[in-house]
Structure 1
């Protein structure tokens, strides 16, 4: 995969390095405090990576100092916290917390262990020579519980962090995603217009939103309601995710068709979806402010009775005290809301999704020469991956003081008064040393609210529509992507609102390819070939 290495080098040059970026979407997970990790002398393999056969049975007698990259969202290092001291005592180590920035990395301050958001960040740091390559067998030998679970995840999560025939990061994954989208309906409006259940098909969806726009669902005798709105105010959004999903496409993603990678914004299915949206807009079913609406503004419109449907993340709608439903009750106590599935259309069903891919754990290149310290870190990682007690300590803090179990002595948790804000929990060291979503499926199932699990399974789209290239940065994105995104958003808005004809979509496709889209398509296909 020498060619793969050259490809990554070019891509890394265009990637924006978000310092120590571990996505907020992925949560860390616990593991068991197992005794023993190796204190073997430092070794290095011929390939330059640490050996996967370190003696993990040795005692903790050897003391190590670990430079630990703190959670990226923490505003800065808080030294000598209670959590830090507990880790130091438990594992016979001294921890030096490090806030990672591009400047600190460039200055040679490379942590022994830290987390990164995506493959592009992994590639960028690797090209700077600051990461240690990881033998694939290391994960199975030292994190066996996690290895067993990651094998059950669809796709090859190791591929995006593998180049030059070497693995450079331990991938995390998230299967139950409360941040995936589902529908949220004004059920009092549905009943008012004679619809007894939330729509499941595109045909039923259309019937409902037309009724919202035409049949005075709020009963005020005025023609002042719409079925839905959208958003085109982000750099990654086309809006109307579930409508495009019903046609089998998400415009801002790369899809595989007949073995080739194609951008969703230029596919025939997208034109079909635009035809539907164009019709709805002409019939005054879509709020004319959809071009400038945001997720927050369309929630407000739902609350205030301007629209009767929005797309919402499942974690905000899955039960009565979930944030969006609770906010609705505060504003309009008589209104009722209920989640709904993404409507099934000619191309299936689904919405925009990050997919199962999450973030990455990496090691500084210096760890290849310090096997004993690496063993100790791997011991902590294994314990974190399988021991609920350690996971909760590193992610949430102290039981009975900062959080409690909702019921009994296991299962979902909730924060106690005064500890809901993560910035407050930082003072005790909670989240500073969290290692992300490398915990076992069994632990995740135990800690996840069963109502949320059921809602995700019922309303979520799974991996129906996610990016074929794992949202990785292409070498030429810096030159073309921003302009192409604006071109897409402007053209889609003009077609939907009737300023352009539907046939103008064909001219847009040609323009998209001519303005750099062909270059990005070629690069996406080259990348996809390395991920198989």
Structure 2
């Protein structure tokens, strides 16, 4: 599967190379370019105020081509399109590109000489440099963002000081990275509370030694009471929790976003799987496997199909501890949210036995090396980047108009924020909550498969300026899901990923499995590290640190 991804990446690069010449022409001939804007820019520049040329012209009606994130096509006359056209005195040309093949469709439009003014869907951090080098994207100076999007700028940089650095190419900013609220919290640490109680474990396991004691008892002391030795302490997702106690996370997880995980060590980026502490963790896990504490089917994972966030091994009483998915897949119903049924795993357990569901214990990652806790959290900065068409550099007042729209929708008030996300209050949704933390979609919109049908979300882009999941997030804070979070220090692809990454991941998986199962001795780890470096790891480490130095450069 990873090899096919590498092949797709190479194919995409080839497609991009094919559109280079037409795109460069498009920069000069695109219908978004405007002689009026050029003249206005020159006049403003002569005034000596470099920022004033980005101010929208009062009374001017702008035509803006808009490529949103969407799952179904947005009609040109959708409710929210008309709403914002009237509100901002704008004509929107909505680009409906199938999300499943948005890159290919975007490149085709570029090849025909078209560049959208606003683009929320087709450019990611991995492809940003390619489009910049082809002359597709406009530079957006930081001072302009700060001036025209003050609230978004303030909140985003508080959450992630390097926010805009992630959209830099050769020291210039070419977009606004999306921010994801799932980054607030780490992945899960969940125990079968009824089993712990039956086994006489009153205190939630906290140290690595306490984890080991509980996991051995779950495996050996018949917590399900069926008289058979058919329970195990943990499976695949639980391994990461244990690795974390040693300080470094090697991947080989249940979730792809955890596989290529880089951490900082002595000011440099290092790949978790080749750190010496991982060898110590593998030695312990090999012992646990020999002793029957780790599910012998751990290689295939805990999910056997269907919705990815479900741990069937846990739901079916095969294991008593899991690190699968995220807290919102496990939380219990929240009274403040009308009709809330809790997370998907909670619901499945509730169907089997409400007592099991309500006994779940949410713990902390084990206290380990240097008295630290270490477990995955998503990055605040997500892969997509909001970017703007190159012709806007000749029409900076239109770029300013777009930034003002984003600031109004995403940074001015929570009411405006919810309008951009969900539609017009009183028509598309209503809320009895004065803080708008919960809303109720109104008929007939509540039966639609996607809000895209009436344009909800078309003019939104997440920069985490407002909390739209306050009650659920508070549940996570109450259960300490913010404790022990470690985020991947590497975001986006490295230049040589397509050449080396797939094979390096395969090497890592084989090493971890063979050492845990005893097919190879623990000392094989040293051979793996040497081979990993020779097979491209050394080159990727070099590239990762070159990228990191650029991001940290102020």
TM over 0.5: yes
Q: Whole-Å Cα distance in 2 between the matches of residues 403 and 207 of structure 1?
A: 51
Q: CA deviation at 1:505?
A: 0.6
1:483/1:211 CA distance change after superposition, 3 Å: same
Structure 1's consecutive aligned runs of 4 or more residues displaced over 6 angstroms after TM superposition are none
2:163 is paired with a residue of what secondary structure? coil
- State whether residues 218 and 305 of structure 1, in contact with CA within 8 Å, keep that contact through their aligned partners in structure 2: yes
Correspondence 1:387 to 2:413 = yes
1:281 corresponds, among 289, 292, 297, to: 289
Cα gap change, 1:277/1:102 in structure 2, threshold over 3 Å: closer, same or farther?
A: farther
Structure-1 separation of matches of 2:317 and 2:456: 41
2:271 to 255, 263, 281: 263
Q: Answer whether contact 1:43 1:51 (CA < 8 A) is retained.
A: no
| 1:349 corresponds to which of 347, 353, 373 | 373
- Is residue 2:464 matched to residue 1:459? no
1:83-114 per-residue CA deviation (whole Å, 9 max, x = no partner) reads: 11101111111111112533223333321011
The TM-score with structure 1 as length reference comes to: 0.83
1:400 and 1:192 map into 2 onto residues whose CA distance is 51
Structure 1 pair 283/412, CA: closer, same or farther in 2 (3 Å)? same
Q: Quote the Cα distance in structure 2 between the aligned partners of 1:461 and 1:276.
A: 27
Q: For the Cα contact (< 8 Å) 1:255–1:468, is it kept in 2? A: yes
1: CA distance, partners of 2:478 / 2:140: 34
- Tell me, yes or no, if structure 1 residue 424 matches structure 2 residue 450: yes
Aligned 1:304-343 pairs, distance under 5 A:
304-311=316-323, 312-320=325-333, 321-335=342-356, 336-343=359-366
Q: CA deviation at 1:480?
A: 0.6
Partner of 2:112: 107
Compared CA separation, residues 453 and 14, structure 1 to 2 (3 A):
farther
Contact 2:364 2:484 in 1 (8 A): no
Secondary structure in 1 matching 2:202 = coil
State the Cα distance separating 1:439 from its structure 2 match: 4.8
| Equivalent position to 1:62, from 60, 63, 70 | 60
The structure-2 alpha-carbon separation of the partners of 1:273 and 1:527, relative to structure 1 and needing over 3 Å to count, comes to same
Could you tell me how far 1:206 is from its partner in structure 2?
1.6
Q: Structure 1: how far apart are the matches of 2:385 and 2:402? A: 15
1:255: how far off? 2.1
Supply the distance in 2 between the matched residues of 1:212 and 1:280 (Cα, whole angstroms).
12
Residue in structure 2 matched with residue 410 of structure 1 by the alignment: 436
In 1, Cα distance between the equivalents of 2:115 and 2:243?
Answer: 43
- Tell me the residue number matched to 2:183: 177
Cα distance between partner residues in 1 of 2:484 and 2:550: 20
1:187 aligned residue: 193
Match of 1:217 in 2: 223
Gaps of 5+ in 1: 1-12, 20-38, 232-238
Pick from 513, 516, 523 the counterpart of residue 493 of structure 1.
Answer: 513
CA distance in 1, matches of 2:67, 2:303: 33
Instruction: Show the counterpart of 1:5.
Output: none
Query: Do the aligned partners of 1:404 and 1:415 also contact (CA within 8 Å) in 2?
Result: yes
Counterpart for residue 97 of structure 1:
94
Deviation for aligned residue 1:74: 1.7
Answering whether residue 523 of structure 2 is matched by residue 503 of structure 1, we say yes
Q: Residues 429-440 of structure 1 correspond to what in structure 2 (within 5 A)?
A: 429-434=455-460, 436-440=461-465
TM-score normalised to the size of structure 2?
A: 0.80
Write the distance in 2 (CA, Å) between the matches of 1:304 and 1:418: 39
Q: Deviations over 1:280-330 (max 9, x none)?
A: 111111111111125466611211111111113022223332222122101
Tell me the SS of whatever aligns to 1:261: strand
Structure 2 segments unaligned to the other structure (5+ residues): 1-8, 16-36, 251-259, 334-341
* Cα offset, 1:156, TM superposition: 1.6
Q: Which moved more, 1:149-158 or 1:89-98?
A: 149-158
Greater relative CO (CA pairs within 8 A, separation 6+): 1
**1:81 and 1:58 mapped to 2: Cα distance?**
26
